[in-house]
Amino acid sequence: MKQEIIDKLKAIVGEENIRTDPADRYIYGSDSSVHVANADVVLRPRTTEQVQAIARLANAEKIPIIPRGAGSGMSGHAVPIDGGIVLDMKRMNKILEIRPEDTLVKVQPGVVDDDLNRALKPYGFMFPPAPASSRIATIGGEIANNASGIRSVKYGATRDSVLGMKVVLANGDLVNLGANTRVEASGYQLDRLMVGSEGTLGIIVEATLKLVPIPKYRCIGIAKFDKLEEAGEAICDVISSGAQPSMLELMDNIAITAVNNTLDMGLPDVEAILLFEADGMVKEAVDFEMERIKAICEKHNGFGIEMSYDAKERARIYAGRKKLFASLSRYKEGYACTSLADDMAVPYSKMAETARKIHDVADKNNIIMTAYGHCGSGVMHTKILMDPTKKEQWEDARRAVEEIYDYVRSIGGTTSAEHGIALSKAPSWKKEKADQLDLMRAVKKAFDPNNILNPHKLMDAPDDWVTATKLRYPVEK
Ligand SMILES: Cc1cc2nc3c(=O)[nH]c(=O)nc-3n(C[C@H](O)[C@H](O)[C@H](O)COP(=O)(O)OP(=O)(O)OC[C@H]3O[C@@H](n4cnc5c(N)ncnc54)[C@H](O)[C@@H]3O)c2cc1C
C-alpha cells in the first residue's frame, strides 16, 4: 500500500489506531479457520465518522476492507485474501442504550456477547443467541455470521434477535435499516439481508437488538447413551414431541474423551451424551419439560440421567461443552483440530444417520472426526483432527469434507447452520445455492460496485480452498 494512503488513513484514525508492522499484519491475517493471508494495514476506528471516511478513501482507491470482530470465525471470514485494510471493530464497543420497557438494547458492533449479557443482567434481560464463543465474539461478527448457539433451539438464531442496524456502505454512506419495533412490514428487509452477509455488503456500526427476560428457573440434565444413533433418535423425538428444551446438545465419544483428557472433567466414558436444559418463569413448567425430555431419552435407552437446578452444577456440566473446541486440539499428540466441514444443519430425522456417517467418512479417509453440536436446533458440528504438517492429510481432509457435504446436501441438509461460509465451506455452498449465485452477485454489485468489502468470500470464493489459499500450518513440501 502506498505511503500516501497510509498517511491519509493515519490522519483518519490517529497514530495509535493504525498498525503496519509485519507481526500485526500477520496476526490479523488469520482467524479461527485454517487460512491465512497478510493484511496491508490494520485500523481500529472508534467512531462511525471514521468508518465512513475509511470507506470513502478505500472505495476511491479500490482497496479491500475486511471488517473484523474477534476473529473467531471458523471458515476464513476475516482473512484478507488480497491484503488491504483489516478493520478491527473492537474499539467501537459501547452499549449505547438499554431500554427494558421496550425490551431492546442499542450497541456498537464491537461489544462482546458476554459483556452485553453481563450489562443486561441487572435489568432482568438477556440477548439469547449464546454461541459457545460468547466470551470473545462481538455483536457485529454474530450478526454478520448469523451466529446461533446453545439456546437457539428455544430462542432462535441472531437473525431472530435483530431489530435494526446502522450500516456504513462501501461508498461511505450511512444507512438506517430495520426499526425499533418488534414488527415492521415496509418493503425490502435490508436489515435481514445484512444478517449473514459476512462483511461483504456493509460495515455494521450500530445494532438494535431484541431482548428476552432471563428465566427464573433453569434446570440442566445429562443422559448417557451406549449407541450414538440412539442419542440422535432421542434428539429427533424430543423436538417432534413438542417438548421445549432451551438447550439440547450432543457430544460423541471423541468429544467426551477430548474434554476429559484436557480438563479432567470426569464426563462419562460412553458413546454419546446429551446435555439438555429447560427454562421458564414457573418451576412446575420447567419440571414438566425436563421430565418429558428425560422420558424420551430413556425410551431411546438413555441411562444414568442426572438433572440439577443448581447454578454451580449447571456451569460444571456445561463447561466441558463450552471448552470443547480448545480441548479437541489435545485429543491426539501431533494432531490439530481444524475447522473444516465444521458445521451443517440436517433434518432432525437424519440426525442419527449423520452422526454415524461422520465417523464412517473419517475412518475411510485416515482422519479423526467428531460429531457434536446444538443438535436441538438441527446443528451438527464436526471438526477434523489430523496432522496438519502432512501434505497427504490435507488431501484426506479435502476428500472427507467433500463426502460429508455431498451427503448432507443429498439428505436435504444445508452447508452451514451457524458458522457461515467464507472460504472453506464455499465449494459445497456454491453447489447448494447454484440457482441463486447470480442473484447474490447482483445484490453484491448494488451494495458494493467496486467489490472492496471482504472480496473473494461466499459466491466469489475459490473452488479449491487447499491450493487457492495459504494454510496457517507448516505443511511439508
Ligand atoms: C471456540 C469457538 C466456539 C464457537 N462457537 C460458535 C457457536 O456456538 N455458534 C456460532 O454461531 N458460532 C460459533 N463460533 C464461530 C464464531 O465465534 C461466530 O461466528 C462469531 O459470531 C464470530 O464473531 P467475531 O466477532 O469473532 O467475528 P469475526 O470472526 O471477526 O468476523 C466474522 C464475519 O463477520 C464480519 N464482521 C465482523 N464485524 C463486522 C461488522 N461490524 N460489520 C460487518 N461485518 C462484520 C467479518 O467480516 C467476517 O466476515 C465459534 C468459534 C470458536 C472459535
Three-state SS for 434? Answer: helix
Site to probe by mutation for ligand 1, drawn from 43, 68, 247 as the one with most ligand atoms within 8 Å of Cβ, is: 68
Atom number in ligand 1 closest to CA 112 = 25
Residue 289: all three cell numbers together: 419439560
| Same-domain check for residues 373 and 320 | no
Please report which helix (H) or strand (E) contains residue 225, including its range.
strand 217-225
Query: What is the number of the ligand 1 atom nearest to the C-alpha of 205?
Result: 41
Helix axes 391-410, 351-364, angle to 10 degrees: 150
Around 40, how many Cα atoms within 13 Å sit in the side-chain half-sphere? 16
Distance CA(214)–CA(126), nearest Å, equals: 6
Name which residue sits closest to atom 27 of ligand 1, judged by CA: 141
- Look up residue 125 and give its amino acid: F
Tell me the mean pLDDT in the region 286-308.
98
Q: Read off the pLDDT of each residue in 187-193 and give the average, rounded to a whole number.
A: 96
Residues with C-beta less than 6 Å from any ligand 1 atom:
31-32, 66-74, 77-78, 89, 109, 131-133, 137-138, 140-142, 144-145, 147-149, 198-199, 203-204, 325, 418-419, 454
41-43/247-252 β-pairing? unpaired
Compute the average pLDDT of residues 313-323: 86
Q: Rounded to whole angstroms, what are the CA distances from 106 to 100, 162, 198, 205, 382? A: 11, 10, 21, 11, 34
Separation of alpha carbons 24 and 44, rounded Å = 12
Q: Please tell me the distance from the alpha carbon of residue 61 to that of residue 421, in angstroms, as a whole number.
A: 27
pLDDT at 469: 84
E strands along 315-404, which residues?
336-338, 343-345, 368-373, 379-386
Whether 100 is in a domain gets the answer yes
Domain containing 278 equals: 217-327
Q: What is the dihedral of CA 248, 250, 255, 257, to 10 degrees?
A: 90
Regarding whether 406 and 272 lie in a shared domain, the answer is: no
Does the structure show a pLDDT above 80 at 477? no
Same domain, 63 and 24: yes
Measured by CA distance, the residue closest to atom 37 of ligand 1 is: 141
Number of domains forming the structure of the chain: 3
Instruction: Tell me how far apart the terminal alpha carbons of the chain are, to the nearest angstrom.
Output: 31
The alpha carbon of 289 and the centre of ligand 1 are apart by a number of angstroms equal to 32
Of 315 and 148, the structure prediction assigns the larger pLDDT to 148
Q: What is the CATH number of the domain that holds 312?
A: 3.30.70.2190
- The rounded Å distance from CA 196 to ligand 1 centre is 10
Average pLDDT over residues 380-408: 96
Per residue in 96-135, pLDDT (tens digit) is 999 999 999 999 999 999 999 999 999 999 999 999 999 9
- Among 31, 72, 459, which is best to mutate for testing ligand 1, by the most ligand atoms less than 8 A from CB? 72
Check if the beta carbon of residue 131 is closer than 8 Å to that of residue 114. Answer: no
List, in order, residues 6 or more apart from 41 with CB less than 8 Å away.
1, 6, 9, 18, 19, 20, 25, 84, 85, 86
Q: How far is the CA of 92 from the centre of ligand 1 (A)?
A: 16
Is 476 a domain residue?
no
Question: Do residues 30 and 143 both lie within one domain?
Answer: yes
Report the relative pairing of strands 95-99 and 104-107 from DSSP bridges: antiparallel
Question: How does pLDDT run across 212-265, given as a tens digit for each residue?
Answer: 999 999 999 999 999 999 999 999 999 999 999 999 999 999 999 999 998 878
Cα of 138 vs centre of ligand 1, distance in Å, is 7
Position 316 scores a pLDDT of 85
- What's the rounded Cα separation, in Å, for the pair 51 and 36? 24
Whether 341 has a pLDDT exceeding 90, the answer reads: no
pLDDT band at 323 (very low <50, low <70, confident <90, very high): confident
Q: How far apart are CA 161 and CA 215, in angstroms?
A: 17
Q: Are residues 276 and 399 in the same domain?
A: no
Average pLDDT over residues 42-62: 98
For ligand 1, the distance from its centroid to the CA atom of residue 111, given in whole angstroms, is 12
Question: Which ligand 1 atom is the nearest neighbour of the CA of 374?
Answer: 8
**Residue 172 shares a structural domain with residue 251:** no
Say if 129 falls within a structural domain.
yes
List residues bridging with 248 in a β-sheet: 276
Compute the distance from residue 242 Cα to the ligand 1 centre, in Å.
31
Is residue 417 situated within a structural domain?
Answer: yes
- Residue that is written with C-alpha cell 471514521 in the block: 50
| 477 within a domain of the structure (yes/no) | no
Q: What's the pLDDT score for residue 467?
A: 79
CA 276 to chain centre: 21
Q: Is the pLDDT of residue 278 over 90?
A: yes
Q: What is the pLDDT of residue 306?
A: 94
Q: How far apart are CA 103 and CA 99, in angstroms?
A: 6
Residues 191 and 239 in one domain: no
CA 78–ligand 1 middle distance (angstroms): 9
pTM assigned to the model: 0.97
For ligand 1, atom 31, name the residue with the nearest CA.
141
> Position 86: which residue type?
V
The torsion angles phi and psi of 163, rounded to 5 degrees, stand at -95, -35
CA distance 321 to 341: 19
Judgement on whether residues 21 and 107 belong to the same structural domain of the protein = yes
What CATH number has the domain bearing residue 341? Answer: 3.30.70.2740
HEC per residue, 25-55? HHHCCECCCCEECCCCEEECCCCHHHHHHHH
**271 and 364 fall within a common domain:** no
State in Å: Cα 69 to ligand 1 middle.
7
DSSP string, 44-90: ---SHHHHHHHHHHHHHHT--EEEESSS--SSSTT--TT--EEEEGG
Question: What's the CATH number where 150 sits?
Answer: 3.30.465.10
From ligand 1's centre to the CA of 241, what distance in Å? Answer: 32
Neighbouring C-alpha atoms within 13 Å toward the C-beta of 130: 20
* End position of a domain, from candidates 298, 327, 356: 327
Domain stop point among 303, 327, 351: 327
To 10 degrees, what angle do helices 311-322 and 253-263 make? 110
Q: Looking at this protein, which amino acid is placed at residue 412?
A: G
In a shared domain, residues 10 and 127? yes
**Contact, 257 vs 289, CB < 8 A?**
no
The reply to whether 425 and 394 lie within a common domain is yes
Which among 297, 327, 357 is the end of a domain?
327
Structural domain includes residue 269:
yes
Q: Please work out, in degrees rounded to the nearest 5, the angle formed at the alpha carbon of residue 377 by the alpha carbons of 266 and 126.
A: 80
Distance 301 CA to ligand 1 centre (A): 37
Please tell me the distance between residue 216's alpha carbon and the centre of ligand 1 in angstroms.
Answer: 29
Tell me the three cell numbers of residue 368. 479423526
When the pLDDT of each residue in the chain is averaged and rounded to a whole number, the result is: 96
In a domain, 42, yes or no: yes
* Same domain, residue pair 114 and 237: no
Residue with CA nearest ligand 1 atom 14: 133
Instruction: Give 321's pLDDT tier (boundaries 50, 70, 90).
Output: confident
pLDDT tens per residue across span 409-426: 999 999 999 999 999 999
With beta carbons less than 8 A apart as the criterion, state whether 404 and 423 touch: no
Joined together, the cell numbers standing for residue 110 give 464491537
Residue whose CA is closest, atom 39 of ligand 1?
140
User: Is 208 a member of any domain?
Assistant: yes
